[in-house]
Amino acid sequence: MTGPQQILIVEDEPLIAMMLEDFLDVLDKRSAGIADNVASALARIEQGGIDAAILDLNLRGGEKSTPIAEVLATKGIPFLFATGGSDDSVDPRFRDRPCLSKPFTMDGVQQALEAL
């Protein structure tokens, strides 16, 4: 399978993050790590070795993943947003990015990654 291989998962729900890791494994992709907040995601990005990212739009404590998207866009690393409801609003600068709606399916994750 072509496309990004090392995928950063930014997700504040541990069970969802683990499920995404399992999906990536089945899709012959690898998790480049899991971050559950903006600070840890930015630290992981600085370490390098990330081909793409799945960003939960709304993180715990009212954090948005927009600062992560800004850094990824600057570095030319593709990403998609994972959204959990209709109240999720993607920053207008990133509305052209693929979105993955919860609940996730393997096919949905595959299609979203292929859209990168």
The sheet that has 6-10: what strands, in order across it? 30-35, 6-10, 52-56, 79-83, 99-101
How would DSSP label each residue in 1-68?
Answer: --S--EEEEE-S-HHHHHHHHHHHHHTT-EEEEEESSHHHHHHHHHH---SEEEEESB-GGG-BSHHH
pLDDT recorded at residue 3: 77
For residue range 21-53, list pLDDT tens digits in order: 999 999 999 999 999 999 999 999 999 999 999
Query: Among all chains, which residue has been given the structure tokens 């992560």?
Result: 68
Is pLDDT of 71 > 90?
yes
pLDDT of res. 50: 97
Q: Strand, helix or coil at 113? A: helix
Mean pLDDT of 89-110: 88
